[in-house]
Amino acid sequence: MPNANQILALVKSHLEGDDKRFKEVAMQIAAVEARSGHTILSRSIADLIKSNTGVRLVRSLAPLNMDVSEYVLSVDNSYRLSDLICSEVIKSKISRIIKEYIHRDLLYQNNLSNRNKILLAGPSGTGKTMTASILANELHLPLYVVRMEKVITKYMGETSLKLSKIFDLISNVRGIYLFDEFDAIGMQRGMENEVGEMRRILNTFLQLMERDDSDSIIVAATNAKEVLDTALFRRFDDVIEYQLPDQQQIEILLKTQLEPFTTPDLHIDKIAKALEGRSHAEITSVCADSIKESILSEQQLTDNIVIQAIEQKHSQIMSA
Ligand SMILES: Nc1ncnc2c1ncn2[C@@H]1O[C@H](COP(=O)(O)OP(=O)(O)OP(=O)(O)O)[C@@H](O)[C@H]1O
Ligand SMILES: [Mg+2]
């Protein structure tokens, strides 16, 4: 049987939405049950935890009777601010959002409000989605990802209805709401003669956002900043611009991703040069491929293995 502390930790982590802790405690309980000979119970707990893919439907829909599960997903992962490799400017902007959220009551008392409408712009794979997840973890809030491709349909009325349901959710269920691929509605140029329609959808979104006085944080992300209407920028409390990593950042990324497989024979500076112009996501993936190759070929990690992984990734991208 789980002990009292484990039961308390399980309830506490569930109520706080701390899924990582919840899973850890559940796995501890599974281990205790296994040691007591309750193999079936132990395996069932472990299977349940492992089958959770990290993406699930929004939990709080039933009581609110809001059918948004088709286009809003609840996503778990455990990124922290220290995991993000970026410029000091980006880091301090994110820290400020976190700080203002934590002290929002103090700000309200002084007729001020915390920054909670944020636009993230920059190339693919530079940490925009990761930032939304960092905000969620640092502030112990759930992360909800709005699937814009499902929200925007050719029927204007339907799209507006979906958007207003999402904003109802935003005000009823505190969380980080990521509108990914925001350019889908933020576009200046629409598809053929749908420019007017897109503009109306964008206006609906902006009105809903302006009216929002919830305790949630709205994050819009795009990698097509140039097609966004510049007037849109001032409707957000903050705009964070992401860039591809510079040489120093590539080296830090390589060191953290290749740890603990690095050896003195590995020339991080040389590898970093070969990765110039690549995104954080590509570099992370090259590191994972290199480690896999080293494990499966039972060889130490060498420059050659990493360079080969870079070339493979490059040809993969070119043929895509
Ligand atoms: N700045 C970063 N520091 C460390 N790792 C990063 C960074 N950016 C991206 N990564 C790694 O790449 C993965 C993908 O990044 P992410 O999904 O945040 O990119 P994105 O900017 O949202 O891209 P897209 O525009 O294609 O949606 C992350 O899960 C992380 O492993
Ligand atoms: Mg993204």
pTM of the predicted structure, to 2 decimals: 0.80
Query: Any idea what DSSP says for residue 83?
Result: G
238-291 residue pLDDT tens: 999 999 999 999 999 999 999 888 888 899 999 999 999 999 999 999 999 999
SS3 of 212-271: the string is CCCCCEEEEEECCHHHECHHHHCCCCEEEECCCCCHHHHHHHHHHHHCCCCCCCCCHHHH
22 burial class (0-12, 13-18, 19+ CB within 10 angstroms)? buried
* Of 229 and 264, more confident: 264
- In degrees, to the nearest 5, what angle opens at C-alpha 79 toward C-alphas 288 and 269? 45
Residue 314's closest CA among 288, 269, 279?
279
Residue 102 pLDDT exceeds 90: yes
pLDDT on residue 15: 76
| Cβ of residue 128 lying under 6 Å from some atom of ligand 1 | yes
Q: Do domains 57-241 and 247-319 have the same CATH topology?
A: no
Q: Which CATH class is domain 247-319?
A: mainly alpha
| Cβ of residue 9 lying under 6 Å from some atom of ligand 1 | no
| Cβ of residue 281 lying under 6 Å from some atom of ligand 1 | yes
| Type and span of the H or E element at 75 | strand 72-75
Domain boundaries, the chain: 4-52, 57-241, 247-319
How far apart (Å, rounded) are the C-alpha atoms in residues 273 and 12?
47
CATH of domain 57-241: 3.40.50.300
How far apart (Å, rounded) are the C-alpha atoms in residues 93 and 31?
42
167-210 residue pLDDT tens: 999 999 999 999 998 887 766 444 445 667 778 888 899 999 99
**Lookup: tokens for 175:** 């969380």
Q: Considering only CA atoms, give the Rg of the chain.
A: 22
Using the mean position of ligand 2's atoms as its centre, give its distance from the Cα of residue 180 in Å.
6
